[in-house]
Structure 1
Amino acid sequence: MSKTIQELEPKAIWKNFTALNAVPRPSKKEARVIQFMLDFGARLKLETFKDEVGNVIVRKPATKGYEKRKMVTLQSHLDMVHQKNNDTNFDFDTQGIEMFVDEDWVRAKGTTLGADNGLGVATIMALLESVDIPHPALEALFTIDEETGMTGAKGLKAGVLKGDILLNLDTEEDDEIGIGCAGGIDVTAERKYRSKSTSKNSMAFEIIVKGLKGGHSGMDIHKGLGNANKIMNRVLHLGAEHHKLRIATIQGGSLRNAIPRESAATVVIDKKKQKAFQNDFENWSTTIKKEKLITEPALEIMLREVKRPKGVLPQKVQTKLLNALYAAHNGVYAMSAAFDNLVETSNNIARVEVEQGKIRISCLTRSSVDSGKLDLAQSLRAAFELADCKVSFSGDYPGWNPNPNSAILEVLKNQYIKIFKAAPNVAACHAGLECGILGQNYPKMDMISFGPTIRGAHSPDERVQISSVQKFWTFTLAILKNIPE
């Protein structure tokens, strides 16, 4: 399997991507991949070091004739999103990603692939170990924890980097040149409760929502994909309204930056209502699946009888929770007036946990306008405070303001047109790139973002297009060859 991947062109990238994907690299658990990169740089006898938060920096001198060109900082993040299908037996903490070739795509077996941002890392590795590629002085910046807080970029101090130009290799369309991105903030709502005992005349069911596509909570938020937490809340609200359903537990979603694909809830009803509830549940399920047929054809909403739990949510707590989740905005909140077809502000209700006396709701709010981000965050706070939750904001990071007069942008546009005989799509994206954060300590650094075509990022359907990696490599080499003095 790995041999097949390594034989793909360009071999220099796929060889390094295979080696990288053999190293477990969850966000906030990057010790092994940090050491992997330190060993890599040391093996090449290049200046290699780790800063105080764990970012790895490697420097390589310019090739002959390129000594006077501006120094380029190549930047990608080491961590990857860990998502898997429920029926996939896989331990991200100990196993390497299992890859395979599917026509013009590389995929993983039931898990995320790590092309986000492993292809960028592998490309930088290929450049660092190259002996026949012309380039100016290079500085590789491998950041940590991009996916769950961007703490690597936030912790990088001023004065560490020496580059004049930063090439961020984390864009997911091979015809796109990124010049801006959204900022984000985590909104978390929490409260405690005392369970109420269940009646002996009651029975329990598990409700399961699954089969949703999921995806990147920024780049895919405009696609109208189903959110398992919102679908589950709708079913629970109907059950409570029509059959006095009581909630014992909810476990929905996983990562804050992934659109939730699955949710499970344990509920209790009066035994006398069993048939009526099951009939209505079937009707509700059919209605919701019809609504989502085009965007979510594999959606399943299932019901099965389970052992009755000892306790359920108090009635008032349950009512407020369901109403708050119904009121809380999910999806696109505002479109950009500055860029056509660009989401400006959005929210992802990423995680809902109700169990053992604790309620926790986790959201990721994004916007390319800081005031818009905070406006939506305050709207969410208001909804959750009506449910008596304590609401906190954390992980706030800025967006990256576009610079249409960027000198490196002109280099990329000219080279793209020269090589591919078409104009690139110069755009901002509704995702969190590290450029905005890095720009706070390095305001004079000219920044740009580009990359190969990746689909389904942050989901087990993640895949990278082989032909686009070849295109990306050609483009990268041309950019480095044409860096100005």
Structure 2
Amino acid sequence: MNITELEPQQLWANFASLNAVPRPSKKEEKVIAFMVDFGKQLGLETLQDETGNVIIKKPASAGMENRKTVVLQSHLDMVHQKNNDTVFDFSTEGIKMLVDGEWVRAEGTTLGADNGIGVASIMAILQSKDIAHPAIEALFTIDEETGMTGAKGLKGGVLSGDYLLNLDTEEDDEIDIGCAGGVDVSAFREYDIVPTPANSAAYILTIKGLHGGHSGTDIHKGYANANKLMNRLLLTCTCQFGLRIAQIEGGGLRNAIPRESVAIVTVSKNDAAAFEKEIVQLTREIQHEYVVTEPTLSVVLEPTALPESVMEEEEQVDVLKALYAAFNGVYKMSQTIDGLVETSNNVARVQLKDGEINVYCLTRSASETSKFDLAETLRAAFELAGFEVDYTGSYPGWEPKVDAEILKIVKTQYETLFGDTPKVVACHAGLECGILGTHYPAMEMVSFGPTIKGAHSPAERVNIASVQKFWKFLLAILKNIPVK
């Protein structure tokens, strides 16, 4: 079945059109132009602010003119991740989508349902001639996935809405009223390069087949981190066999749990057989530890050409120990919301090559003080090994307001439509509501969306029936916005 044949057809058609446009974070020029053209083609008031956010305003439908104004908000950018064996150019190609049973997914890449379904639903409302709605201010932000610079750059006074509906969460029975903030923790250092020792054998060591996923919403699920596993293998074999490192390339974006890591290493030819045997044994141990959460985890060791140089031995040990000490995963659980992760870190990317090593982390927390406490834990580990550490891209969390009028409206519509009580939650992901709330402190906000699994990984997929449920829910909310 073609994507555009799914219901609601206008939403899916917009999603297909959106996914035909390359839209990586920080390179949104094409999708910004696409959205500006979309608004102007509809004859609606359309503007692009100096940051790159697009705002499209639509008057209320007939009979709804006296209702409060609603801001519908989603982000234009998407996480670009692909499997190593997938040939795909995110800068020039549109996402290749397919219907897979009850789900829509992509062929070997992220799908972009995060947050493309939200964008497409807003587009459908802007196009509509028969949907009842109050005055709409559609806010399409940029760069949500790698810094939230769009939300940060939005100026106060551009919007006049009373309520904001953020369409960027991933369980269709949840209403989000709070989220974590975050800060990028980056560690850098140079190291000495020395000639590869004589009588060495070289290998490519690859960790792959991991689940990956969203470094906020999936951080508590026990998924392995490819960078931490690779470091474990490297330090163990450094101590046992004098392994030397020529290169490491592990992970990708900060908000994606790393699925793969590749290293080029050498050992003495005299130790090669024992080294190969030890890698097999370590792999079995790790596979046993992750037998439930990482059933396809694999470690591959292949001979390769001997590199000309490797990392100086003492510096290598210092760096590996620092990476071993760098905290990864859930640091603290919430003391007020049962089952909610409060603070976590993702050791997202490790690059070691040509005398330079870069380590990129994303630290999240609902508590600003706890966020920087964990960041300082990371700083301490890295500075002890001679790294320089920077904090960048800090953004605030979103404080829950359980008595907000918009929450009561949304809960009532959910209960009326579906005969059930929604889960009112806070999430460990970073939503733009916290930042937008600093620009518009009087604006009440909630977040909801369809069920999306595997966000930020090539396993990303969106449930078709859930999109239909989400669409029905969204239209009911708009129809029942109260008078001014």
TM band (smaller chain) = over 0.9
Q: 1 CA distance for matches of 2:172 and 2:371?
A: 28
Q: Which amino acid aligns with 1:470?
A: Q
Identity fraction in percent: 62
2:452 is matched with which residue? 454
Please point out which of 330, 340, 345 is paired with 1:342.
Answer: 340
Matched, 1:161 2:159: yes
2:330 is matched with which residue? 332
2:90 is matched with which residue? 92
Q: 1 CA distance for matches of 2:300 and 2:98?
A: 32
1:368 is matched with which residue? 366
- Per-residue displacement from partner, 1:89-140 (whole Å, max 9, x unpaired)? 0000000000000111000000000000000000000000000011100000
- Per-residue displacement from partner, 1:130-185 (whole Å, max 9, x unpaired)? 00011100000000000000000000011111111100000100000000000000
Q: Which amino acid aligns with 1:209?
A: I
Q: 2 CA distance for matches of 1:194 and 1:280?
A: 28
Matched, 1:204 2:202: yes
Q: Which amino acid aligns with 1:329?
A: F
2:24 is matched with which residue? 26
Q: Which amino acid aligns with 2:175?
A: I
Measured after TM superposition, the shift of residue 280 of structure 1 is 1.2
Secondary structure at 2:276 match in 1: helix
1:136 is matched with which residue? 134
1:278 is matched with which residue? 276
Q: 1 CA distance for matches of 2:197 and 2:400?
A: 60
Q: How does 1:424-463 map to 2 (within 5 A)?
A: 424-463=422-461
Measured after TM superposition, the shift of residue 199 of structure 1 is 1.9
Secondary structure at 2:171 match in 1: coil
- Per-residue displacement from partner, 1:395-432 (whole Å, max 9, x unpaired)? 00000000001100000111101110000000000000
Q: Which amino acid aligns with 2:238?
A: A
Secondary structure at 2:220 match in 1: helix
Please point out which of 221, 224, 237 is paired with 1:223.
Answer: 221
Measured after TM superposition, the shift of residue 338 of structure 1 is 1.2
Q: How does 1:106-125 map to 2 (within 5 A)?
A: 106-125=104-123
Matched, 1:411 2:443: no
Secondary structure at 2:362 match in 1: strand
Query: Unaligned stretches of 5+ in structure 1?
Result: none
Q: 2 CA distance for matches of 1:103 and 1:385?
A: 50
Measured after TM superposition, the shift of residue 358 of structure 1 is 0.3
Q: 2 CA distance for matches of 1:233 and 1:267?
A: 12
- Per-residue displacement from partner, 1:165-209 (whole Å, max 9, x unpaired)? 100000100000000000000000000112011122111111100
Q: Which amino acid aligns with 1:189?
A: A
Matched, 1:252 2:250: yes
Q: Which amino acid aligns with 1:391?
A: V
Secondary structure at 1:87 match in 2: coil
2:177 is matched with which residue? 179
Q: 1 CA distance for matches of 2:139 and 2:231?
A: 42
Secondary structure at 2:165 match in 1: strand
Measured after TM superposition, the shift of residue 55 of structure 1 is 0.2
Q: How does 1:287-298 map to 2 (within 5 A)?
A: 287-298=285-296
Measured after TM superposition, the shift of residue 23 of structure 1 is 0.3
Measured after TM superposition, the shift of residue 393 of structure 1 is 0.3
Secondary structure at 1:89 match in 2: coil
Q: 1 CA distance for matches of 2:149 and 2:240?
A: 46
Measured after TM superposition, the shift of residue 451 of structure 1 is 0.4
2:350 is matched with which residue? 352
Q: 2 CA distance for matches of 1:459 and 1:84?
A: 7
- Per-residue displacement from partner, 1:233-270 (whole Å, max 9, x unpaired)? 00001100111111111000010000000000011111
Q: 2 CA distance for matches of 1:281 and 1:256?
A: 28
TM-score, structure 1 normalization: 0.99
Q: 1 CA distance for matches of 2:43 and 2:126?
A: 10
**Count of residues in Structure 1 that have an aligned counterpart in Structure 2:** 483
- Per-residue displacement from partner, 1:55-93 (whole Å, max 9, x unpaired)? 000000001111111100000000000000011000000
Q: Which amino acid aligns with 1:152?
A: G
Q: Which amino acid aligns with 1:218?
A: G
Q: 1 CA distance for matches of 2:175 and 2:278?
A: 50
Matched, 1:146 2:144: yes
Pick which of 201-210 and 456-465 moved more.
201-210
Q: 1 CA distance for matches of 2:251 and 2:331?
A: 21
Q: 2 CA distance for matches of 1:175 and 1:399?
A: 22
Q: 1 CA distance for matches of 2:446 and 2:286?
A: 42
Moved over 3 A (4+): none
- Per-residue displacement from partner, 1:341-384 (whole Å, max 9, x unpaired)? 11000000000000011010000000001101000000000000
Measured after TM superposition, the shift of residue 286 of structure 1 is 1.1
Q: 1 CA distance for matches of 2:258 and 2:344?
A: 15
1:422 is matched with which residue? 420
Pick which of 265-274 and 118-127 moved more.
265-274
TM-score, structure 2 normalization: 0.99
Secondary structure at 1:174 match in 2: coil
Pick which of 19-28 and 196-205 moved more.
196-205
Q: 1 CA distance for matches of 2:429 and 2:197?
A: 48
Q: Which amino acid aligns with 1:270?
A: S
1:53 is matched with which residue? 51
Q: Which amino acid aligns with 2:300?
A: M
Q: 2 CA distance for matches of 1:71 and 1:80?
A: 28
Q: 2 CA distance for matches of 1:182 and 1:230?
A: 24
Q: Which amino acid aligns with 2:230?
A: M
